[in-house]
Homo-oligomer: A and B are copies of this chain.
Amino acid sequence: MQRTSQKVSMAVIRRLPKYYRYLENLLNKEIYRISSKELSRIIGFTASQIRQDLNCFGGFGQQGYGYNVEELYKEIGKILGLVREYKSVIIGAGNLGQAIANYSDFQRKGFKLKAMFDINPKLIGLKIRDVEILDVDNLEDFIKENDIEVGIICVPFSKAQETADRLIAAGIKGIWNFAPFDIKVPDNIVIENVHLSESLFTLSYLLNEYNNPED
């Protein structure tokens, strides 16, 4: 796999998923070639931003031709690491955990869900899309026996750090955290937080700002 040798800024990295999503939509519409100007129109970044971003990875555009959508999609997929499987487990099989388990993009993009875990005896033994909910007491054994790389934390706030610590001790490499808590992890563990409440607060701020500008 070809990889970029330079360090790319996280700001660029955070934009790549958006490119990836839009390119996928273009492919679904059977559009195979696009100019940076047209890409700019649909994605909302400036054409110069787009050229600059994509140049970080060696530049896939050709003067007068534009971008080859399929090639660009594949390259960005490679950069994003969407070229192999990540064996995953969900901890916390309540509504949020079940929603994630049912979230089709997640599995389609290589995150293979191998089990879910909960402490609730009413949930243990149930299956969500063929994935069984197991007793959280078996978490460490399962991770070790199945080479699980990613733990998805959907437990309440108060259990988030403890859950992360158990995952890390058992050998997990990355965490996708949905608990409203900033989990502390060692430097060799990667973590990506989805803080729904922060998104919600931004919405309430905007609602007030836009709707009562004169208050």
Contacts and interface: CB of A to CB of B under 8 A. Distances in A.
Interface of A: 1, 3, 13-14, 16-18, 20-21, 44, 79-82, 86, 94-96, 98-99, 101-103, 105-106, 109-111, 149-150, 173-174, 176, 180, 182, 188, 190, 192, 194-211, 215
Given A81-B209, A96-B103, A192-B200, 9 more contacts: A16-B201, A17-B201, A18-B182, A95-B95, A95-B103, A190-B209, A192-B202, A194-B194, A194-B196
Contact of A18 (B95, B150, B198, B215): B198
A204 B102 contact: no
A95 B98 contact: yes
Chain copies in the assembled complex: 2
A205 B79 contact: yes
Contacts of A200: 17, 105-106, 109, 111, 176, 192
Contacts of A195: 17-18, 21
A208 to B, nearest CB: 3
Contacts of A81: 204-205, 207-209
Contacts of A110: 204
A204 B109 contact: yes
A206 B103 CA distance: 21
17 contacts: A13-B202, A13-B205, A14-B198, A14-B202, A17-B202, A82-B204, A94-B99, A95-B98, A96-B102, A105-B180, A110-B204, A111-B200, A149-B207, A173-B210, A174-B207, A190-B206, A194-B194
